[in-house]
Amino acid sequence: MSTEPATPPEEITIPEEWHSLPSDPNYKFPGYCTFKYRGATMSSTHLQWGVMQQLEQFRGRSSDIIVASFPKSGTTWLQEIVWRVTHHQSMAGEKGPKTCLEYRFPLLEMQSQEKLMEMASWADMTDQRFIKTHLHYHMLPESVKTSEAKVLYVHRDVRDVCVSFYHFSRMINVHKYRGTFADFRDSFMRDALMFCPYREHVKGYLEHSDTVLCLTYEQMHQDRGSVVRKVADFLGVSLSDADVDDIVKNTSFEVMKANPDTNFRQWEDSGMVSGTEEGTFMRKGMVGDWRNYFTEEESEAFLKWRNEEVASLE
Ligand code: PPS
């Protein structure tokens, strides 16, 4: 690991309050670099894709529904559950929505991703808005906290998050991570990866669980029916048992992986990922894949590190 910051692409202007971090040669995408901004690690891609403009322009509305998470924690899964809970009437009898999840649920922090993929921006949406974010709780625009917007948060066994994030970082072309898993885990624990520090991310939302609905990936695996009911209660939606069964059935890993509206296959067309050489977005969808990556000692140390900050809030 270098102690020098990477040279960012010339076209990015670095705002004063962003501090360059040491470069990581394992990222092979030219000019990829990271910064510290308000305690969070953000990437050059965020700057290029308009995070500052997004944060300045965003005005929360009381009807907004926001699904937040640290990357690779089950965001897509919870988004699809939320969508189906809130649209169960219009979707009754249909197998699935007909618009890509990314279009239905734009990302708060990346304006040009929407432009790049010809997606609707949250700013243009006139109906109820469904928004995804990986921002830390303290970075959410104040208007989200002062409006009656509903925020849902999902977190996952940190070991599985790290494994999934590793594969994701290898897969997407704007990162092209080529280090080993051990390198990646080390960067994760040093808070060097995009959206780290992980522990503060989880802590920030769990500390607000009086207003934020906090769920786990593992609960979604174990008993999706009760998660669907919790989401519906939180959003003030009334569901019949048949509605719940329908949502549970249509949000299984197999159904979502086969559904072009939820499987992120569009990333291959837009050049975000190249083919399937490094895997697909819907990778394994399981609890405990970490066993293939951590020894018992590594797992223990990693959990201990995580629990030092987070366990008391669960
Ligand atoms: S992202 O890029 O941060 O929005 O990714 P995110 O959606 O949070 O996480 C991706 C992982 O969630 C898995 N996934 C699912 N698991 C089980 N069931 C369903 N329906 C489902 N949908 C997505 C996906 O496969 C990624 O996990 P891994 O472990 O890599 O397979």
For 155-208, what is each residue's pLDDT tens digit?
Answer: 999 999 999 999 999 998 889 899 999 999 999 999 999 999 999 999 999 999
Is 52 a domain residue? yes
Return d(Cα 172, Cα 114) in angstroms, integer: 17
Is 55 a domain residue? yes
- Which residues form the domain of 262? 18-306
Is 214 a domain residue? yes
pLDDT, one tens digit per residue, over 76-120 is 999 999 999 999 877 766 666 678 888 888 889 886 555 555 556
Is 7 a domain residue? no
Q: How many CB atoms within 10 Å of residue 309?
A: 14
Asked whether 251 lines ligand 1 (CB < 6 A), one says yes
For residue 261, the model assigns a pLDDT of 87
The catalytically annotated residue of 46, 87, 88, 134 is 134
Is 57 a domain residue? yes
For residue 116, the model assigns a pLDDT of 54
Q: Which of 164, 166, 252, when mutated, tests ligand 1's pocket best, judged by the most ligand atoms within 8 Å of its CB?
A: 164
Q: Which residue has the higher pLDDT, 228 or 23?
A: 228
Ligand 1 centre distance from Cα of residue 295 (Å): 23
How many distinct structural domains can be found in the chain?
1
Residue 60, φ and ψ in degrees, nearest 5: -65, 145
Lowest mean pLDDT among 29-33, 212-216, 244-248: 29-33
Is 134 among the residues known to form the active site? yes
Is 13 a domain residue? no
DSSP state letter for 3: S
Per-residue HEC secondary structure of 162-223 comes to: HHHHHHHHHHECCCCECCCHHHHHHHHHCCCCCCCCHHHHHHHHHCCCCCCEEEEHHHHHHC
Asked whether 257 lines ligand 1 (CB < 6 A), one says no
Ligand 1 centre distance from Cα of residue 111 (Å): 22
Which atom of ligand 1 sits closest to the CA of residue 284? 31
Looking at ligand 1, which residue's alpha carbon is closest to its atom 14?
A: 285
Do 256 and 262 meet the contact criterion of CB atoms below 8 Å apart?
Answer: yes
> Which CATH number covers residue 245?
3.40.50.300
- What global pTM score does this model have? 0.94
Is 311 a domain residue? no
Contacts of 22 (CB under 8 A, 6+ apart): 1, 2, 3, 4, 5, 192
Is 271 a domain residue? yes
